[in-house]
Chains A and B, each alone.
Chain A
């Protein structure tokens, strides 16, 4: 059966190997029909061309694929597109633009919070959620909040500085 011939109704009632999902990505409505085993990172990178979401481990460990799902940080490698019906997804591309960086992006640049940059989109998405969740942040809370994000290069010190710097700006 072709993916397109399966209606949404029959999909949810009996189950289907392809799913049609309506969601918002970076504030744009998206309707995608894909195999039921498609993960969110695959949709973002391969169908939508949003390659800022990086795939490091593909097994939920490194955090480089972190995006926001209804405002909260999740790992896109371990989420089916099928689970995203009605969800609002924000990726690093939806956070700021090259001319108008989000304060977190600007702080990573200012504080030298990256070297190779592979972990950076995930770090930034996790850090933005952290600032939203916590009323106050200190070094310990930042380190704990970023425990799901692994960086091979920086040794984390400048990442922690960047998050603290951005948190101040975001609260002003």
Chain B
């Protein structure tokens, strides 16, 4: 699936715009990082894409279909939150199963099919024997992987990750970065990752979009950005990060 964002704008309570005419495309299977300092509008853009927030202007197209006004629950986008937002009173397996359990009517897989899918996903994140644990009994890295598996369970059309590694220490962060990228390749889903960490963005993404005060200053591969920063902001932000 490919995503196309056209001229998205958003302001809160009539104040200054947090997103100002943002356009962006994500190709099939591509991994794009949204990179920018705190308050630059990364989360706002991600929430607009996920449908948790409705933009004031602009369109969001998925494979050419206008989904700007489609409710979040109907988009089938897998989302991983910074806090992971695991359901604390459900076991790991129940967390992963949730998106399948809430499907309605004929769309809902049988209990055994759901169980098989959960087992498959837990194997994928290498937590096959921890299905009965509760989120509070997991390490940060494990919680992050469960959040990932839960998002993948709905067979998402797009993967959205909001600072998924920021709560982890450097060591775990690097391992998980690689494993998230590998999972995304395996599943073949396009992904957008929000981060303010330039090293992370460059390590994981095919292309990086640098955000600055509600605008995307530049989009390109890590090499392109390094070779030719388009604005003084991009140049100084990249320099500060290395």
- Genuine A/B complex: no
Interface residues of A (CB under 8 A from B): none
Interface residues of B (CB under 8 A from A): none
